[in-house]
Amino acid sequence: MAKIEFPVLNVKMVDINKVVANDYNPNKVAPPEMKLLKHSIEEDGYTQPIVTYYNEKNDSYIVVDGFHRYRCAKEYFHLKEIPIVTINKDLSNRMASTIRHNRARGTHQIADMSKIVVYLSNNGWTEVEISKHLGMELDEIIRLKQVSRTKRSLCKSCF
């Protein structure tokens, strides 16, 4: 069995000016998702540190994962320091790590999202509140509610 390391136990605050983006991350975030990330940080704070590699030569931290959290810190919140962890890997392995982090996040399944929207709605959340806190358009919320109704009529024991 592989030895599992826990860089997450070594979070430290560093000067944001020492943190730089990598030049290979293929992950792009559309404006609605960026807005949701900003809102998430406003609501919950920074719950995950930015994963970095320390470049001793330049005394800088290169982002491996968390570029968009880094962008929020810099562009929206104008933070002077951000939470980081470091991993010590060569460039090829940092690239692989970036892709693993991106792909491991997965996607949200429609049926599961439908259940969440219905639950929130049944517990007093308005469509506007659901839209704001989940980063969804109103028409998407309505569609998810319709999916739930259709499934319920087809399979009463599923809900």
Dig out the tokens for 73 from the structure.
């810190």
CA pair distance 38, 15, nearest whole angstrom: 20
- Tell me the one-letter amino acid at 155: C
For the domain bounded by 8-104, which CATH number is listed? 3.90.1530.10
Q: What global pTM score does this model have?
A: 0.76
- Tell me the one-letter amino acid at 4: I
- Tell me the one-letter amino acid at 14: V
Dig out the tokens for 54 from the structure.
């320390």
Domain range summary for the chain, segments of one domain joined by +: 8-104, 110-158
DSSP state of 38: H
Residue-wise pLDDT for 29-79, tens only, equals 889 889 999 999 999 999 999 999 999 999 999 999 999 999 999 999 999
